[in-house]
Structure 1
Amino acid sequence: MLALIAGTGALPTEVVAQLTEQPLICAMEGFLPDDLTADIVFPLEQLGSFIADLTVQGVTEICLAGAVRRPPIDPTRIDAATMPLVPVIQKAIMSGDDGALRAVIGILENAGLHVRAAHEIAPGLLPPLGCLTEAQPSDADMADADRAAGILRAIGIADTGQACAVSRGQALAIEGIFGTSWMLQTLTQRPDAGGGILFKGPKPDQDRRADLPAIGPDTVTDAVAAGLSGIVLEKGGVLVLQQDHVIAECNRLGLFLYIRERAV
């Protein structure tokens, strides 16, 4: 049996829509899914009891999908089943995003649960290689993609972000804690003539079972408002939500969407 720990955003709904069987929908307090009804809601302070409950219900596989921030921990709510996990949870909260996710995945695996990636159970989330739109990238755009891949590796090593905008070989913006949409909004009043690309990809050595970067229709709108010419994604490393809608919006607005091989 599969359990989906659903956070906020569009991804959990997209995953469920692509499944043939309804999973058990679970959510952490304070981060309920936008468009799904949770069967189980648990506080982080009772994670141990939640995992035990999953086992009793016959859950053997689990998928993490959606956004969840690091919540404050109320020591008075920690139950006996969670107490042994407290050092790991505390370390996870103090770690970067990738370190925190690795810690959570480790807790689940140590409990005998098989953690599966969203794109593993819903493979339609990953777009195919090549240009998916009527608009095509230029040679200059491809050169910017090479430059952006190098920038992303550098910021990824620092566990900083999974996106950047590049034009004519220069970084226009890099993603930080506020995400891709906010990064693109900072470019809406750029002083040059426009152009350039949005590049997204996972962090180096990232555990791809959780927190893969994603784009959706709003990303296309934001990229156009930022004056960019197109979007370049790393094959196998970026989820595309509402893929048909994304491609249609790119075609309507004259943006290209290109999926390139992972840089070595």
Structure 2
Amino acid sequence: MMRIGILAGGGRLPLMIAESAAARGTGVHIVAIRGEADPEIARFPHTWVNLGQIGRMLATLRREGGEQLVIAGGVRRPDFWHVRPDAGFFASLPQIFGLVAAGGDDSVLTRVVRFFEQKGLQVWGAHEIAPDLLADAGDLGQTGLNEQGRRDASIGFAVRRRLARLDAGQSVVVADGRVLAIEGAEGTDRMLERVLDLRDREGVDERQGVLAKGPKPGQELRIDMPVIGPRTVDSVVAAGLAGIAVESNGVLVLDREETLRRADANACAVHGLAATLSARG
């Protein structure tokens, strides 16, 4: 039986990976970061660590995870006064300083993966361990994108591709052929708040426009796969948009049943667009 360790930060994703892997017969052990991971991880075999306990973290992943690792969930910038480092932390100081000094999200994430690989662990992506979380192609819910929505989605995907070299643009909002917003460091939810403010100022009442979301070319998907979930749907509806277009097999759908229930209740389209098709737009 395959075993895997899950290094769990905040959010629902670590739990959903554990559930999916366990359902497939994979042995799971969660190494949960204190102050970040959901207490519900106690449903699975688990070990709590703080960010300074690198030695304990690595030893547990090797022993309980069969040297196989998936990293999932968010981690806030730590308060180094409360890290409580162990011997493994001090032994890894050169690599840790390299992570802190790295510029750009992609550079940092690539170095995180490399750090664990250098420690003898094989790093997997959430999409490889829990492929059932990936968005399919086509309409995921009961509401489909209309023709204008499909054109907006194609424009959004084209903009995302152009922005790839700038380490930006995982999400783009397009309405009636006009780019309304491009995701920056603030994340998707904050970007959608900007869209709502813009539409309020312009007095737009009709629901139109699409959130186009997918991975950037060259993005380190083993640790940074784009996601949507119930909160994404709520934010899209609140921003007055008509739907969400995601790159099929390139975006994870969290809590799929609840996500699509909310989308259907609000006539919000959720559509998976193949990368090859979006490239023609």
> TM-score normalized by structure 1?
0.89
Q: 1:12 to 1:161 in 2, by over 3 A?
A: farther
1:102 aligns with 2:110: yes
Matching residue's letter, 1:160: A
**1:45 paired residue among 39, 52, 59:** 52
Q: Do the aligned partners of residues 159 and 71 (structure 1) sit closer, same or farther apart at CA in structure 2, a change above 3 Å counting? A: farther
Q: Is the 8 A contact 2:55 2:89 kept in 1?
A: yes
CA offset digits 1:133-173 (Å, max 9, x no partner): 33221222122112111222344432235212111222212
- Within 5 Å, give how 1:151-190 maps onto structure 2: 151-189=159-197, 190=199
Pick one of 2, 13, 20 that aligns with 1:18. Answer: 20
Residue 67 of structure 1 pairs with residue 80 of structure 2 = no
Q: 1:214 aligns with which of 215, 223, 227?
A: 227
Superposed counterparts of 1:72-83, under 5 Å: 72-73=79-80, 77-83=84-90
CA contact (8 A) 1:163 1:199 kept: yes
CA–CA separation in structure 1 for the residues paired with 2:41 and 2:179: 38
Q: 2:32 and 2:222 mapped to 1: Cα distance?
A: 17
**Residues of 1 paired with 2:218 and 2:39: CA distance?**
30
Aligned to 1:33: 38
Deviation of 1:77 (Å): 4.7
Q: Gapped runs of 5+ residues in structure 1?
A: none
Q: Map 1:188-227 to 2 at 5 A.
A: 188-189=196-197, 190=199, 191=202, 192-193=204-205, 194-227=207-240
SS in 2 for 1:69: coil
Shift of 1:14: 1.4
- For the residues of structure 1 that align with 2:128 and 2:136, how far apart are their CA atoms? 15
SS of 1:45's equivalent in the other structure is coil
Contact 1:9 1:34 in 2 (8 A): no
What value does the CA root-mean-square deviation take over the aligned residues? Answer: 2.4
Are the equivalent residues in 2 in contact too, given 1:45–1:74 (CA < 8 A)? no
Q: Where does structure 2 lack aligned partners over 5 or more consecutive residues? A: none
Q: Could you say which residue in structure 2 is the equivalent of 1:117?
A: 125
Note the C-alpha offset of 1:8: 0.7
Normalising by structure 2, we get a TM-score of 0.84
Higher helix share: 2
Distance 2:225 2:260 in 1: 20
CA shift at 1:74, angstroms?
5.3
1:100 deviates by 1.5
Deviation, 1:235, is 1.2
Q: Number of residue pairs matched?
A: 264
Superposed displacement of residue 31, structure 1: 2.0
**Residue in 1 aligned with 2:256?**
243
The more displaced of 184-193 and 196-205 is 184-193
**Are the aligned partners of 1:8 and 1:31 in contact in 2 as well (CA < 8 Å)?**
yes
